Structure formats: structure tokens, C-alpha cells
């Protein structure tokens, strides 16, 4: 079988070594290949942990580590001394618990209904307690079992999503007093506008967390997600919770500190020249105004390429951007390849240095988070071998 060679590389970038190790048949068998650089994720974690210090730095690996594969990334972060892992759902927590040593804390951000708390307890998973009811159920369980487990409570400081409201802090304090509990181990809250440094709600949310500090002076506090860590140094509190920054996605005020961690390459399925007047794609939303060379690309909205993706996004062939033409289909999309001479079978870059994740997201009216977490199961995910 022919190995994929640098000669057939049409992405204009050095191909990741992991991709070079695949045969061309293997590459063609998948509609796309995600090369994931775990060492870069670990480097990003180390950078974030240094920035967080003396606060602790956890890692948010919800939605399968934003689509990149929690089960391979979590142990690498543990080896880099990460000890608090956040996921969104209980089933994600169960999967992580199986592969992480017991001294790693696994927290379920969406909380756990009182009925599932016994299971949660048995699995050594920490529920983020998102209501007074959940707090009472967890404390009662710990009292019955007479075992020490972390008590982590979310304060809804202004996002109106999950957690105990500021107005309930006195009630919460009374519950801890009546039950003779010293204090929650952690109180966390989440910023609704961490990506907008000058948004007025940021200050309000920070102030509400300080209010909770006055009520529970011996608890540890956490406010910052990735962006929040870089808003104000004081907002790092006792524990930071970066997610997207682990994967190299930044905002202008902290770019260049982090490394990109994955590339996604797709394949050209067909190259066809058509005359002016030829309609392209579903709904014939585009008609060639001049002769066009159309390349059809191997992934579509079923793979998480948004149906509404617009130019200038498309793919990169030998460093040349080929913009999308018409609507993205379920399993493919067409690009304008008139400026170049590609052949069917060529590998093109969809996410990488020639076209960044941020650029794709912007051309789809969305954010990098949504693009990443929707990248589909049909892409082959391969880990860049360590040390390259």
C-alpha cells in the first residue's frame, strides 16, 4: 500500500507526522483526518497553570474535550499535574473516572439530580451542586455514609443558567450552620461575558462572588474560564477552569501565549470545469457568472461543516484559499478552484494555518466552540506521536 508522501501533500504546510504514517487508502477511507497534537495541549495547560498560580488550575474537558477526545487528553493533563477535571454530564464523568487516578477530582458541571447522587457518590464523582435541593441531598448523603467528599456549589452570579442565587446565600449559610458543616469546599460561578472585557455584568458577577466570600470566608472560590483568567489577575481566585484555551483558541488580549493543537484535512472528491450559467449545489443558490473549476470536498454538515458556511471560508490547496460555492451538503461541499489545478484525491486543509478555526467560525456566524464540538464522528482522529 502506498504511504502518504510529502509529494502528494497539497496543503502547503508540512504534513503532521501522524498523517504521513497513514496510507493513502486509510486517508481516503475517512472523509477527513483530524491530527491532534497532545503535546501542544499539555504545553497550553502548563502555560495556563503558570498563569493561574498560586491558584489551582483545573481543565474543562466537557463534550469529549471539545471534540478532541477526553480519554486520551485527560491522562496527559494528569501527568502535567492537573487534579481537577470538569465535564458537563454524569456519563462523561463516569468515562473520565475510569481512566483517572483517584486523587483526581471529576466534577459534573450540569449537576446531578438527587436520585442520581448515590450513583455519583459510588463512582467518586463530585456533583456541582446547582440548587438548594441538590445541596441538601448531597449533605444528607454524606452524613448517612459518614464519608468525607468535596462539596462544590455553583453561585448564579448573573448568567441565569444554573446555581444558587445570591439572594439564597443566607439560606445556604443557615443550612451549613444547622447541620454543623464548616463550609462548602468550593463555591464557583461562571461569567456570561468573559470574552468582552468591558462588559458591565463582569463587575457585577465578580462583586456577587465576593459577597459569597463574606458569607463563607473559609471556602475556596472559582470564577474564571479561559477568558476570565486574563481579565483581571484577581479573578483567578483559588481555582481556574480553562476549557477552550487548552486547545489554543484565544482572544486578542491573550493571543500568542498558546499553541494551536489540531488540524483537519479533507479530500477533493472531484474536479470539474463548468461553463458560465451553470448552477451549483442545493437550491442552486449560486450560478457561475464565468467558466468555473469546481472542486467537491469530502465532508458536509453531517460532519459539522455548517450548512451556512460562506466565503471567504472554504479549503486551502497549496496555500491558496478556495472559497465555498453555494450551500454545504450533508456529506460534501463545493469550492471555487478556478485559480488552481488540483486533482481528485488531493488532500486539502480545512482547519489549520491556511484557514484557522476562528476564520471558519466567523464565516459561519458562530464561535470556535461550536465548530469544534460539532466536528463529526466520521473524521478519523489521530494523535500526533509524542516529541514531534
Ligand X SMILES: *Cc1c(COP(=O)(O)O)cnc(C)c1O
Q: How far apart are CA 361 and CA 367, in angstroms?
A: 5
- Minimum Å gap between C-beta 60 and ligand X is 4
Residue the block writes with cell 477530582: 105
What's the number of CA atoms in the CB half-sphere (13 Å) around residue 36? 23
Beta strand ranges found along the chain (DSSP E): 32-36, 56-57, 59-60, 84-87, 105-108, 126-129, 152-156, 164-165, 186-188, 220-222, 239-240, 262-274, 279-280, 286-287, 292-297, 314-317, 320-325, 333-336, 347-351, 379-383
Taken as a whole, the chain contains a residue count of 388
Tell me if residue 62 is catalytic: yes
With CA atoms as reference, report the closest residue to 142 among 166, 176, 188. 176
Residue nearest to ligand X (CB): 243
Give the helix ranges, DSSP H, for 62-113.
62-66, 70-79, 90-99
Q: Of 77 and 109, which CB lies nearer to ligand X in the complex structure?
A: 109
Residue the block writes with cell 464548616: 182
- Minimum Å gap between C-beta 329 and ligand X is 30
Binding mask 82-121 for ligand X (x = CB under 6 A): ---------------------------x------------
- Using CB under 6 A, which of 22, 60, 152, 209 touches ligand X? 60
Interaction between residue 226 and ligand X (CB under 6 A): yes
Interaction between residue 243 and ligand X (CB under 6 A): yes
Find the catalytic residue in 4, 7, 45, 62: 62
- Minimum Å gap between C-beta 337 and ligand X is 35
Q: Which residues fall within 8 angstroms of residue 202, CB to CB, at 6 or more apart? A: 191, 193, 194, 196, 231
Q: Of 242 and 352, which CB lies nearer to ligand X in the complex structure?
A: 242
- Strand-pair partners of 335: 295, 324
- Minimum Å gap between C-beta 325 and ligand X is 33
From 204-212, 242-250, 323-331, 377-385, give the range in contact with ligand X by CB under 6 A.
Answer: 242-250
Tell me if residue 4 is catalytic: no
Q: Of 42 and 325, which CB lies nearer to ligand X in the complex structure?
A: 42
Interaction between residue 191 and ligand X (CB under 6 A): no
Interaction between residue 241 and ligand X (CB under 6 A): yes
- Strand-pair partners of 35: 263, 382
Interaction between residue 306 and ligand X (CB under 6 A): no
Task: Please check if 208 is assigned to a binding site.
Answer: no
What are the C-alpha distances in Å from 53 to residues 34, 56, 70, 192, 243? Answer: 32, 6, 24, 23, 17
Task: Please check if 161 is assigned to a binding site.
Answer: yes
Q: Of 96 and 109, which CB lies nearer to ligand X in the complex structure?
A: 109
- Minimum Å gap between C-beta 228 and ligand X is 8
Q: Of 161 and 177, which CB lies nearer to ligand X in the complex structure?
A: 161
Q: How far apart are CA 380 and CA 30, in angstroms?
A: 6
Catalytic residues: 62, 282
Annotated binding site for substrate: 161, 330
Using CB under 6 A as the criterion, which residues of the chain lie in contact with ligand X when the complex forms? 60, 62, 109, 190, 225-226, 241-245
Amino acid at each position: 500500500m502506498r504511504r502518504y508522501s510529502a509529494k502528494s501533500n497539497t496543503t502547503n504546510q508540512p504534513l503532521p507526522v501522524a498523517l504521513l504514517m497513514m496510507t493513502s487508502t486509510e486517508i481516503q477511507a475517512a472523509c477527513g483526518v483530524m491530527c491532534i497534537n497532545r503535546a501542544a495541549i499539555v504545553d497550553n495547560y502548563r502555560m495556563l497553570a503558570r498563569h493561574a498560580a498560586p491558584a489551582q488550575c483545573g481543565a474543562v474537558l466537557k463534550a469529549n474535550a471539545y471534540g478532541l477526545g477526553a480519554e486520551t487528553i485527560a491522562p496527559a493533563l494528569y501527568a502535567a499535574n492537573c487534579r481537577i477535571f470538569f465535564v458537563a454530564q454524569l456519563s462523561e464523568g463516569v468515562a473520565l473516572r475510569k481512566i483517572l487516578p483517584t486523587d483526581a477530582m471529576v466534577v459534573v458541571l450540569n449537576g446531578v439530580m438527587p436520585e442520581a447522587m448515590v450513583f455519583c457518590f459510588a463512582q467518586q464523582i463530585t456533583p456541582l451542586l446547582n440548587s438548594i435541593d441538590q445541596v441538601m441531598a448531597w449533605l444528607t448523603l454524606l452524613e448517612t455514609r459518614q464519608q468525607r467528599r468535596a462539596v462544590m456549589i455553583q453561585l448564579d452570579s448573573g448568567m441565569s443558567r444554573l446555581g444558587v442565587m445570591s439572594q439564597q446565600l443566607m439560606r445556604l449559610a443557615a443550612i451549613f450552620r444547622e447541620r454543623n458543616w464548616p463550609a462548602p469546599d468550593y463555591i464557583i460561578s461562571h461569567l456570561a461575558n468573559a470574552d468582552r472585557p468591558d462588559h458591565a455584568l463582569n463587575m457585577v458577577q465578580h462583586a456577587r462572588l465576593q459577597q459569597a466570600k463574606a458569607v463563607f470566608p473559609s471556602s475556596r472560590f472559582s470564577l474564571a474560564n479561559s477568558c476570565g483568567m486574563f481579565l483581571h489577575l484577581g479573578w483567578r481566585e483559588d481555582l481556574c477552569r480553562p476549557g477552550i484555551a487548552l486547545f489554543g483558541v484565544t482572544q486578542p488580549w491573550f493571543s500568542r501565549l498558546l499553541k494551536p493543537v489540531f488540524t483537519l484535512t479533507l479530500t477533493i472528491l472531484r474536479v470539474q470545469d463548468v461553463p458560465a450559467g451553470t448552477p451549483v449545489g442545493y437550491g442552486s443558490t449560486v450560478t457561475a457568472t464565468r467558466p468555473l473549476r469546481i472542486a467537491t470536498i469530502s465532508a458536509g454538515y453531517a460532519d459539522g461543516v455548517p450548512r451556512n458556511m460562506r466565503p471567504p471560508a472554504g479549503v486551502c490547496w497549496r496555500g491558496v484559499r478556495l472559497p465555498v460555492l453555494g450551500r454545504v451538503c450533508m456529506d460534501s461541499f463545493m469550492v471555487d478552484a478556478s485559480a488552481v489545478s488540483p486533482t481528485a484525491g488531493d488532500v486539502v486543509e480545512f482547519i489549520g494555518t491556511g484557514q484557522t478555526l476562528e476564520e471558519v467560525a466567523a464565516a459561519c456566524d458562530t464561535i470556535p466552540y461550536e465548530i469544534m464540538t460539532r466536528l463529526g464522528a466520521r473524521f478519523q482522529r489521530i494523535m500526533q506521536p509524542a516529541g514531534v
